[in-house]
Structure 1
Amino acid sequence: MTNQEIVQKLWNLCNVLRDDGINYQQYVTELTYLLFLKMMKEQDTEAAIPEGCRWDDLIEKEGLPLKQFYQKLLLELGSSDNKQLRLIYSDASTSIEEPKNLEKIIKSIDALDWYNAKEEGLGDLYEGLLEKNASETKSGAGQYFTPRPLIDVMVQLIDPKPGERCNDPAAGTFGFMIAADRYVKEKTDNYFDLETVEADFQKKEAFTGMELVKDTHRLALMNALLHDMEGRLEQGDTLSSNGKWMKNFDVILTNPPFGTKKGGERVTRDDLTFETSNKQLNFLQVIYNGLKDDGQARAAVVIPDNVLFESGIGAQIRRDLMNKCNLHTILRLPTGIFYAQGVKTNVLFFTKGTTDQDNTKDVWVYDLRTNMSSFGKRNQLTMAHFENFMKAYVAEDRSQVEDERWNKYTREEIAKKDDSLDIGLIADDSLSAYENLPDPIDSAEEAIMKLQQAMDLLNEVVEELREVEEDKVVTQ
């Protein structure tokens, strides 16, 4: 049985829990609690788990005693002296009401082909489960999940090296750092080409990150653990003072969250030059200021279109970026590549300068959006779609690349447009050809998502108005 088949079997178990009212995200979290115990057994690393709280203790129980034992186990592991256990099981509780459902899931997990799973890699199995969750529109997880082909392209082009400090300030499930770790391992024979001290650095210090959402951070910790990565992975708000530790990195790879801070509040970090409630603009500041100013440190960051053209503070931040860094490449991404998201996105590639002025001379833009098929569940993004872009990116002489999607803009040309980076899109003839019209199902899903986002925003406004009214009553 392949990892893909195991993932599908695990995913099908979600059907067992529908009567318990459990959603996809809760199911993945529940699976994480159970898979951790099973995988520790399979890897012979159960010593970290207190006796009486291990997989074999769980599998021998049935019915109501099983559920009672499981609830007690979660509490005990959440207060463990072992930091790793404590973080993964922090505030853990089960959403499964029916004991027989819990029993079925545990026995089904135990019956899977774990020998082949270990051969293929338990980390890859877990990542497959996270990707499956993201691909389910109903789960809503897709807005946090960057497609693996895009991650791999960004990692390859940024080219992290042994000894470099890499970071993701919006870590999600830690996909960028895991891909970067895998990339360096492939270049160094799984770190066997490195000295012991160097290999130890890669495992314990090279890859770090921070994630705001507690349950997502739990998934990230599990992901890192199964890939044998022990770098600092904090839970908290990067845009608060808690994120100020993230400085002087050689490489930053990230896909920050879209939108504004709740209620339009400002960030609480005091080391950002420009104040705005726009999350992406704040993350962009965190990223380019978080790189070493050695002329070698580099970043690749996914951002939505509005960051390219927002006026006022947005223009000032883009100007600051182009002064402090060489913003050498922009990739205009195709639409529909993020599950359950209708936003248009791009990747900025830049290198930090040694001074704070005039580092950007020319910006090359590759349009992978216009006249492209619409991507979605039935037409998925692959590495092959990036082939021509990657050739243009690494070309010794970029001006010799013959590709209508590849165009250069001087810093002077950009300045004349109020430093707008909404550039490089080629002539759009998609509407003249029926076969290139958007997929109706994808369009409907996008419309539903936008309506849901609007409803969420209205609910936030209503809640804030209620709080104001309640405050008035109290003061009267």
Structure 2
Amino acid sequence: MHSKVRQQPAVYYKGNMDTREIAQKLWEPAKALQQNGLAYHDYVDNLTWLLFLKIAPAIDMIEELPATLNWRILLTTPTAQQLAYYQHILITLRQSTHPSIAALFSQARTQLKTVQQLKQLLETLTVLDDIVIDDLGEIYGEFLDLYALNDQEHLVPPRSLVDTLVILTQPQLGELIHDPAADTAGFLVAADQYVQITSDCDVFEDDCIPDITPAMPQAMLLGIEQDLARQRLAIMHCLLHEIDDTPHLPVQWGNSLLMERHALPSVDVVLSSLVFITEQRHEATQQTQTLALLRHSYHALKPKGRAAIIVPDAVLHATGHAQKVRKELLDNFVVHTVLRLPQGIFYPHQIPAHVLFFYRGEQPTERTQNVWFYDMRSQSTGFGRHLRLKRQHLMGFETAFGEDNYGTSPRQGEGKKSRWHSYSRQWLTQKNDSLDLAYLHEQETNSYEGQESIWTFLESAVAELEDLRDLLGG
């Protein structure tokens, strides 16, 4: 069963900190520096560039750097010249001929205003001094999670959900895995890790202890990200997970919708989140882009190619162009499962979403017959800053889905008022091909709001106690 996938044990370092606590240490200065005018994205960029310089020898990149530009020289440069020297490093590495370094430092220019800010970042990175290089990928992934949690400008699905979608689609060695909106490469990194583990031993065996080494076979990845800053973070994320940049970068800068169809190969697996932040006045334009990316995704599939894609609710019930796209998908591909996600997983943004699971049939006549729906939203706990979606919350769905990655495992519904049952293609036609079915009675009270209000009260109480402590002199 899927629940037998082995979880990596916690690794502890200084002061018994685990990888998540180390990531928290890396993030802590961001808030103070933001108050001094350094935006979160500038903090993340600079920490990423400095991290690369620090670990370049450990990841066999030191020979790709000019001899006069490295971490050791940066640390020993006199304070008065240190910020200027750092800026010189960034400008020089923009011109690197190494594809990953060129992408990582593309248009790099620091927004640090004082050498004291630079020294604070250098000091922050000392928490990594005793870290095993193999654990840096996990730490950086946790760091990106904290960035997403505090950032107001982009949406990243929880890693627990990403892991579940990867496990259910089961990418295989030699398959080409595509994300048309790759962001910081969360899906691609998870897919690569899954391929490495399952290529070494049976991931569903309790006694499977994978021996992952750099020499192990890797997934073939093709990510596209139109935001240059996001692509930069994706490249670092891949580097730290030892994902190769040949024959091409795992995440390329560009717009999937503007690339010529013949320039992108057909793919075996599509894993992506097509949920984006948009202003209300631009909602129609954003929905058009989301629908276009969905069409791009299913047309990119090879025969027997499969997909798991997160989409906003509106895409699944809107009329007009959205309905035409749904009809094309249902009539020409096999949509077998829809997961209705709980509220709050994209906190702080409350954008409701579903996951579509589908594949392209071996024959053109193979198309949707029945669609199974699993409702995690109705009459259930919502999530937010303090209550995060975890893998354990998804186990009920994983069990219902079954072990076959095309959704053909034996399935049994639990009645019309249950979380899990199917609808025929004919029935969906009568409902304007809607795939957003709130078939459980919604509770009048929202448990998510209730839980968040409790946390807000507790945070306020803690703040008052801290103020009282300061007033009393510690």
TM-score normalized with structure 2 length: 0.82
Contact 1:237 1:243 in 2 (8 A): no
Of 356, 361, 367, the residue aligned with 2:369 is 361
Does 2:110 correspond to 1:115? no
Q: How many residues align?
A: 422
Does 2:263 correspond to 1:245? yes
Of stretches 95-104 and 150-159 in structure 1, the one that deviates more from structure 2 is 95-104
Equivalent runs, 1:45-444 vs 2, <5 Å: 45-109=61-125, 111-118=126-133, 121-136=135-150, 139-141=151-153, 143-189=154-200, 202=218, 206-229=220-243, 230=245, 231-241=249-259, 245-258=263-276, 278-292=288-302, 294=303, 296-357=304-365, 359-394=367-402, 396-399=409-412, 404-423=418-437, 425-428=439-442, 430-431=443-444, 438-439=450-451, 441=453
Q: CA deviation at 1:78?
A: 0.6
Cα distance in structure 2, aligned partners of 1:424 and 1:434: 15
Cα distance in structure 2, aligned partners of 1:228 and 1:52: 26
Contact 2:48 2:233 in 1 (8 A): yes
Q: CA deviation at 1:107?
A: 3.5
1:170 and 1:244, CA in 2 relative to 1: closer, same or farther beyond 3 A? farther
Cα distance in structure 2, aligned partners of 1:211 and 1:167: 11
Superposition RMSD in Å: 3.0
1:312 and 1:18, CA in 2 relative to 1: closer, same or farther beyond 3 A? closer
Q: CA deviation at 1:354?
A: 3.0
Of 41, 60, 73, the residue aligned with 1:25 is 41
Q: Which amino acid aligns with 1:8?
A: Q
1:342 and 1:261, CA in 2 relative to 1: closer, same or farther beyond 3 A? closer
Q: CA deviation at 1:417?
A: 1.2
Q: Which amino acid aligns with 1:65?
A: Q
Contact 2:295 2:325 in 1 (8 A): yes
Cα distance in structure 2, aligned partners of 1:99 and 1:193: 44
SS of equivalent to 1:398: coil
Contact 2:30 2:40 in 1 (8 A): yes
Question: Identical aligned pairs, as a percentage?
Answer: 31
Cα distance in structure 2, aligned partners of 1:334 and 1:283: 23
Q: CA deviation at 1:443?
A: 12
Cα distance in structure 2, aligned partners of 1:190 and 1:65: 52
Cα distance in structure 1, aligned partners of 2:225 and 2:315: 21
1:226-264 deviation per Cα after TM superposition (whole angstroms, max 9, x unaligned): 111125421011111357633311100000243679997
1:10 and 1:260, CA in 2 relative to 1: closer, same or farther beyond 3 A? closer
Q: CA deviation at 1:19?
A: 5.3
SS of equivalent to 1:241: coil
1:31 and 1:161, CA in 2 relative to 1: closer, same or farther beyond 3 A? same
Cα distance in structure 1, aligned partners of 2:201 and 2:351: 37
Cα distance in structure 1, aligned partners of 2:339 and 2:84: 52
Of stretches 257-266 and 55-64 in structure 1, the one that deviates more from structure 2 is 257-266
Q: CA deviation at 1:316?
A: 1.2
1:242 and 1:14, CA in 2 relative to 1: closer, same or farther beyond 3 A? farther
1:398 and 1:19, CA in 2 relative to 1: closer, same or farther beyond 3 A? closer
Contact 1:63 1:100 in 2 (8 A): no
Contact 2:266 2:300 in 1 (8 A): yes
Of stretches 10-19 and 309-318 in structure 1, the one that deviates more from structure 2 is 10-19
SS of equivalent to 1:31: helix
Report what 1:464 is aligned to: none
Cα distance in structure 2, aligned partners of 1:152 and 1:397: 23
Q: CA deviation at 1:4?
A: 2.2
Contact 1:360 1:411 in 2 (8 A): yes
Contact 2:137 2:237 in 1 (8 A): yes
Does 2:19 correspond to 1:3? yes
1:243 and 1:51, CA in 2 relative to 1: closer, same or farther beyond 3 A? farther
SS of equivalent to 1:278: helix
Cα distance in structure 1, aligned partners of 2:254 and 2:448: 42
1:13 and 1:300, CA in 2 relative to 1: closer, same or farther beyond 3 A? same
Unaligned regions of 5+ residues in structure 1, if any? 268-275, 445-476
Q: Which amino acid aligns with 2:152?
A: G
Q: CA deviation at 1:84?
A: 1.9
Contact 2:348 2:384 in 1 (8 A): no
1:212-239 deviation per Cα after TM superposition (whole angstroms, max 9, x unaligned): 1110110001111111112542101111
Higher relative contact order (CA 8 A, sep 6+): 2
Contact 1:249 1:290 in 2 (8 A): yes
1:63 and 1:280, CA in 2 relative to 1: closer, same or farther beyond 3 A? same
1:76-121 deviation per Cα after TM superposition (whole angstroms, max 9, x unaligned): 0011222221111111111111112212321442x324333425x1
Contact 1:151 1:179 in 2 (8 A): yes
Higher fraction of helix: 1
SS of equivalent to 1:116: coil
Unaligned regions of 5+ residues in structure 2, if any? 1-12, 203-208, 404-408, 457-474
TM-score normalized with structure 1 length: 0.82
Q: Which amino acid aligns with 2:290?
A: Q
Q: CA deviation at 1:393?
A: 0.6
Q: Which amino acid aligns with 1:164?
A: E
